[in-house]
Amino acid sequence: MGVRITFETLFPGLIEPWTQEALVGRAVAANLVELRVNDLRRFAGNRSRRVDDAPYGGGPGMVIRVDVAAQAIDAARLAQPPADEVVLLSPAGEPLTQDLVERFAGYRHLALLCGRYEGFDARVEQLVDREVSVGDVVLMGGELAALCLAEATLRLVPGVLGDADSHRCDSFSSGLLDYPEYTRPPLYRGLRVPAVLRSGDHGRVDAWRREHALLRTQRRRPDLLPRAPLSEADRRRFAPPVGASEAQDDDQEAQDDDQD
């Protein structure tokens, strides 16, 4: 059995269908991964299964109680195998990155705590190992964020993807954005597939892909370049940031393609 991911949530029905579909469902069926979806209400401690209460100091909304979350965290840490980390999904957390999911993919057990309403009592932040955010946006709950984290992690587990090497060329795995991909038809509404990609010359194709990965990164995410594995020639050509718009990017890429 590969990595186990445990979801602690008030709405298991938001997560359970995802565990049964596509590559994730196949990985579960093949015992490559184990996914557990637990209802936080099992720790409510009352007949109504109520897990929230009004915030101290007043204000709108309801807050999930610290004792409810603490019992879920304890259960994850007492499980076999125990959770390597308990992660709280929160807009105040550290950004989710490829480096982080590569770390998670090496764990035996990862527990994800999903909030709702106005979130958890702030004391929960001191009980988890890490807080993670999927972006500068506020969702209705932590479930979708947890699914983003889980899917990014699971695709790195050996055997989950059909091609064991496919994730190594992904955006961010190489330190750069991914190069553009094309398929049939070669011409559609005046838009052409670059001739070099249809040339059959693998050396030229590899060089084109490397150059266009660098171009895309320079134009769209220049902040990645200082940490990317660049040669001296790459740095001289691509490292200086440029302030081009996406429309300018597309025009330039089209010009580059015409030259190919």
User: In whole angstroms, what is the distance from residue 41 CA to residue 127 CA?
Assistant: 19
pLDDT at 170: 60
**Is the peptide bond between 81 and the residue preceding it cis, with omega within 30 degrees of 0?**
yes
pLDDT at 172: 62
CATH fold of 4-154 reads Alpha/beta knot (3.40.1280)
Catalytic status, residue 91: yes
User: CATH classification of 171-259 is 3.80.10.10, yes or no?
Assistant: no
Catalytic status, residue 85: no
Catalytic status, residue 155: yes
User: In whole angstroms, what is the distance from residue 66 CA to residue 46 CA?
Assistant: 15
User: In whole angstroms, what is the distance from residue 15 CA to residue 163 CA?
Assistant: 26
Structural contact between residues 5 and 112, judged by C-beta atoms closer than 8 angstroms:
yes
Structural contact between residues 9 and 43, judged by C-beta atoms closer than 8 angstroms:
no
Please return the burial class of 149, using the count of CB atoms within 10 Å of its CB with bins 0-12, 13-18 and 19+. buried
- Which one of the listed residues 36, 103, 155, 237 is annotated catalytic? 155
- Which one of the listed residues 91, 103, 131, 221 is annotated catalytic? 91
Structural contact between residues 155 and 167, judged by C-beta atoms closer than 8 angstroms:
yes
What pLDDT tens digit does each residue of the chain (260 aa) get? 679 999 999 999 999 999 999 999 999 999 999 999 999 999 999 999 999 999 999 999 999 999 999 999 999 999 999 999 999 999 999 999 999 999 999 999 999 999 999 999 999 999 999 999 999 999 999 999 999 999 999 999 999 997 655 555 565 667 899 999 999 999 999 999 999 999 999 999 999 999 999 999 999 999 999 989 899 888 888 865 545 444 444 555 555 555 55
- Which one of the listed residues 129, 170, 178, 253 is annotated catalytic? 170
Identical topology for domains 4-154 and 171-259: no
The ranges assigned to domains in the chain are: 4-154, 171-259
- Which one of the listed residues 34, 39, 102, 118 is annotated catalytic? 118
